[in-house]
Amino acid sequence: MKKNLETRAMFAGHTPSPANEFAVKPPMHPASTFVFPDARTGAAHMETAYGVQGAETPPEGFIYSRLGNPTLNLAETRLAAWDESDDAAFFSSGMAAISTALLAWSGADRPVWYVGPLYGGTQHFLDEVMPTMGREVRAIAGLELLNATLEETDRALPGIIYLETPANPTMQVRRIRSAAEWAATHSTPDHRIVVMVDNTYLGPILQRPLDEGADLILYSATKYLGGHSDLIAGAASGRADIVAKVKEFRTFLGGITDPWTAWMLARSMETLHVRVERQQSTTKRVLAHLRDLCGPQAVRSAWVEDLATAGLDVHAAEAQQKGGGAMVGLVVPGGREGAFAFLDSLSVFKLAVSLGSTESLAEHPASMTHAGVPAHIKEETGITEGFVRLSIGLEHPEDLVEDLTQAWKIACDVATLAV
Ligand SMILES: Cc1ncc(COP(=O)(O)O)c(C=O)c1O
């Protein structure tokens, strides 16, 4: 009988056997290079990697750790197990994964259409960097505008449709299936439209973009996949041919994960579901408290109650999410002054960027993670001066509630004094 997902993911990539002394845990291979059994095999490996015409097909094996490594294979097998994808690729950061995937599947006749808002680094790469590389990039306000955009562009099909859902930090939710169905209808045998989804905020436990028809999932693995604020990594996971091209580009752009980080990721993924489920249940408690204390209008999250209050897409969330995750936004009174007073008063929450870790984190997107986003986009998307972002960790829920309550009161006092 096929085992359940948690069980399959726990053992993916490592089986205790005589080859590994029956070690219950996998070894780590720091080697940068691997010995070829003979020169002919070495030539077959290298010529295949470089796409030399007429190269002999090499046997399974490793060449050099910029192309692949046994410990990396372990982590990639484990992520593919969680996502139930054909294949996965790890990178040295989330941005390395995102930029490599975008470069691999875009081109002069393959524009990128994205539905913002997006994580600031991705948005900058798309708006400022890709056009300098001959890529046409177009921001679309919503997926309902795909047909209108096609008319506007004289029916020039996109090569990529890129989404981030829920969006960091404003929680806009996009219906992945709408993008995938549109892409499937408009793709032709010579022009495949690739749908990419940044699933960093929810991860494989809470949202499964491939089941919704997406082709490639992207992650900042620095967040929930790593989950302990002790590594930087990224990942791409999805359909075999889509990942294969991304891996080919990774070889030449060079942004692969090192073996130590890969080993840490493989270890962290064993507890992914337990961490995320606990972070979600604590978040429910925190959100219920914040809605009472601060009023529902002040609270943002990807849970349906808060999406409804903010006028965001509740139906998409209900259709594709298993819960709203563990990220919270709070609009503090008194603008930047109130928000800073709130952040400086927290003691259990740590004032730091990043998210998805064992410890709870708090930050001010307008001046920190999204400092580089143009003012008009911040305004349109709700990244106001009073907005703070919270990432809920594994501390006791009541300690978090108490910490937030005292900080909120201080921020309210500051806001009243400022009037
Ligand atoms: C949604 C999202 N995507 C991508 C990234 C980039 O990841 P990294 O910092 O690992 O490069 C981040 C980082 O915060 C993020 O929040």
Q: Flag whether 156 is in a domain.
A: yes
CATH of residue 173's domain is 3.40.640.10
Distance (angstroms) between ligand 1 centre and the Cα of 122 equals 8
Q: Flag whether 59 is in a domain.
A: no
Both 265 and 279 in a single domain? Answer: no
Ligand 1 contact via 92 beta carbon (within 6 Å) = no
Question: Is residue 42 scored above 80 in pLDDT?
Answer: yes
Number of independent structural domains in the chain: 2
Atom of ligand 1 nearest to the CA of 221: 10
Distance (angstroms) between ligand 1 centre and the Cα of 362 equals 16
Ligand 1 contact via 164 beta carbon (within 6 Å) = yes
Distance (angstroms) between ligand 1 centre and the Cα of 197 equals 13
Across the chain, mean pLDDT equals 96
Both 234 and 293 in a single domain? Answer: no
pTM value is 0.97
Ligand 1 contact via 234 beta carbon (within 6 Å) = yes
SS3 288: helix
Both 162 and 87 in a single domain? Answer: yes
Ligand 1 contact via 121 beta carbon (within 6 Å) = yes
Domain boundary among 269, 287, 319: 269
Question: Is residue 419 scored above 80 in pLDDT?
Answer: no
Q: Phi and psi (nearest 5°) for 377?
A: -70, -40
Ligand 1 contact via 356 beta carbon (within 6 Å) = no
Distance (angstroms) between ligand 1 centre and the Cα of 408 equals 28
Beta strands 234-238 and 216-220 are: antiparallel
Ligand 1 contact via 73 beta carbon (within 6 Å) = no
Question: Is residue 390 scored above 90 in pLDDT?
Answer: yes
Q: Flag whether 61 is in a domain.
A: no
Domain boundary among 223, 254, 269: 269
pLDDT band at 377; cut points 50, 70, 90: confident
Ligand 1 contact via 93 beta carbon (within 6 Å) = yes
Distance (angstroms) between ligand 1 centre and the Cα of 28 equals 26
Best of 92, 93, 95 for a ligand 1 pocket test (most atoms within 8 Å of beta carbon): 95
Both 164 and 141 in a single domain? Answer: yes
Indicate which residue's Cα is closest to atom 13 of ligand 1: 220
Domain boundary among 230, 252, 269: 269
Both 203 and 322 in a single domain? Answer: no
Indicate which residue's Cα is closest to atom 10 of ligand 1: 94
Indicate which residue's Cα is closest to atom 6 of ligand 1: 94
CB atoms within 10 A of CB 416: 11
Q: Flag whether 311 is in a domain.
A: yes
Indicate which residue's Cα is closest to atom 7 of ligand 1: 94
Q: Flag whether 60 is in a domain.
A: no
Best of 119, 125, 265 for a ligand 1 pocket test (most atoms within 8 Å of beta carbon): 119
Q: Which residue has the tokens 């209108």?
A: 148
Q: For the segment 92-112, what is each residue's pLDDT rounded down to a tens digit?
A: 999 999 999 999 999 999 999
What pLDDT score does 103 carry? Answer: 98
Ligand 1 contact via 222 beta carbon (within 6 Å) = yes
Ligand 1 contact via 207 beta carbon (within 6 Å) = no
What pLDDT score does 140 carry? Answer: 96
Both 158 and 130 in a single domain? Answer: yes
What pLDDT score does 59 carry? Answer: 93
Both 218 and 336 in a single domain? Answer: no
Strand partners, 331: 387
Both 138 and 214 in a single domain? Answer: yes
Helix, strand, coil share of the chain (percent; to 5): 45, 15, 40
Question: Is residue 51 scored above 90 in pLDDT?
Answer: no
Q: For the segment 125-137, what is each residue's pLDDT rounded down to a tens digit?
A: 999 999 999 999 9
Both 112 and 217 in a single domain? Answer: yes
Question: Is residue 271 scored above 80 in pLDDT?
Answer: yes
Best of 93, 200, 354, 357 for a ligand 1 pocket test (most atoms within 8 Å of beta carbon): 200
87, 237 Cβ separation under 8 angstroms: yes
Rg from Cα positions in the chain: 22
Distance (angstroms) between ligand 1 centre and the Cα of 203 equals 12
What pLDDT score does 374 carry? Answer: 85
Distance (angstroms) between ligand 1 centre and the Cα of 196 equals 15
Q: Considering only 51-55, 176-180, 202-206, 352-356, which range has the smallest mean pLDDT?
A: 51-55
Q: What is the DSSP string of 348-400?
A: SSEE-S--SSSS-EEE-TTTTTTTTS-HHHHHHHT--TTEEEEE--SS-HHHH
Distance (angstroms) between ligand 1 centre and the Cα of 371 equals 14
Distance (angstroms) between ligand 1 centre and the Cα of 295 equals 30
CA-to-CA distance for 396 and 97, rounded, in angstroms? 34
Both 148 and 113 in a single domain? Answer: yes
Question: Is residue 418 scored above 80 in pLDDT?
Answer: no
pLDDT band at 362; cut points 50, 70, 90: very high
Indicate which residue's Cα is closest to atom 9 of ligand 1: 94
Residues of the domain holding 127: 5-31+69-269
Atom of ligand 1 nearest to the CA of 232: 10
CATH of residue 393's domain is 3.90.1150.10
164, 209 Cβ separation under 8 angstroms: no
Both 303 and 394 in a single domain? Answer: yes
Both 248 and 282 in a single domain? Answer: no
* Rounded mean pLDDT, 172-194: 97
